[in-house]
Amino acid sequence: MRKLIVGNWKMNGSLLSNADLLRALRTGLPAEPAADVAVCVPFPYLAQVQGACAGGPIAWGAQDVSAHEAGAYTGEVSASMLRDFGCRYVIVGHSERRQYHGETDDVVARKAQRALAAGITPIVCVGETQAQRDQGDTEFIVKRQLAAVIHVVGHCVSEIVVAYEPVWAIGTGRTATPEQAQAVHAVLRAQLRAAVPNERRVRILYGGSMNAGNAAALLAQPDIDGGLIGGASLKADEFLRIIAAAD
């Protein structure tokens, strides 16, 4: 399966710095990159990224989407609006949304459903906190989070991307070891296999302090199909090296 490398810019960027970053990525990427590549950017910059990346090898997407279709939901952005800006992907259930915005498994699942209905691939994030890992609950937590999505989207789960992001590894510089990550990816792969016949279509990304130094070892694991990259996706050189490591 072709690997997928996605940058999550989080709440970073400006028109000026984005233009520099996108220019450097476009220039630095080979005509046929070793992996599929995407950047998930803040809503106000979708038009800029669409303008800069249309027709090239870099796909783009958003970092959240409303669980509602349309209407009186002030501040929310719908899946059809994302489609208007050419989004191929949207991140749902990032741990920062679960933690700071109280998103439950059910809300995350309904967001994934909205994205799918609009023809956008949801990148569904799952992952345990340090306390949950310490209690031996990692498997239970990630399976519960993924099960909620399977329950709501049914056989369409074959159209999603999953991102395993241990919360203790996000933005901390503490990466899961390749063995730790692979063990959880294997659990998620087995869960998908039990849910849909064509589960091999589903890519399972690893996220959590992935960088140019550790990417190759993580991406070499049999069930790691790509990466969701936060901090390191803001530096063109680092992000390009991660993409190259996916070969």
- Enumerate binding residues for ligand PEP (CB under 6 A): 8, 10, 165, 170-171, 207-210, 228-232
Classify the C-alpha dihedral 163-169-170-171 as positive or negative.
Answer: negative
By beta-carbon proximity to ligand PEP, the closer residue of 9 and 195 is 9
CA atoms within 13 A on the CB side of 210: 33
Residue 149 backbone dihedrals phi, psi, to 5 degrees: -70, -45
Smallest gap from Cβ 171 to ligand PEP, in A, equals 4
Instruction: Find tokens 């063109």 and name the residue.
Output: 236
Catalytic residues: 94, 165
Q: How far is the CB of 61 from ligand PEP (least distance, A)?
A: 13
Our separate counts of H helices and E strands in the chain read 10, 8
Q: What's the min distance (Å) between Cβ of 229 and ligand PEP?
A: 5
The one-letter amino acid code at 100 reads Y
Using DSSP's 3-state secondary structure scheme, residue 246 falls into coil
Closest CB to ligand PEP among residues 226, 231: 231
Please return the burial class of 149, using the count of CB atoms within 10 Å of its CB with bins 0-12, 13-18 and 19+. buried
CB of 5 to ligand PEP, least distance (A): 12
DSSP 144-202: HHHHHHHHHHGGGGGG-EEEE--GGGTTTS-PPPHHHHHHHHHHHHHHHHHH-TTGGG-
Choice between 157 and 228, CB closer to ligand PEP: 228
Closest CB to ligand PEP among 52 and 167?
167
> Which residue lies nearest ligand PEP, judged by its C-beta?
230
**Residue 192 CB, nearest approach to ligand PEP (Å):** 20
Spatial separation of the C-alpha atoms in residues 207 and 155, rounded to whole Å: 25
Give the residue with the Cβ less far from ligand PEP, 162 or 195.
Answer: 162
Cα distance from N-terminal residue to C-terminal residue, the chain: 11
Residue 145 and residue 92: Cα distance in Å, rounded?
12
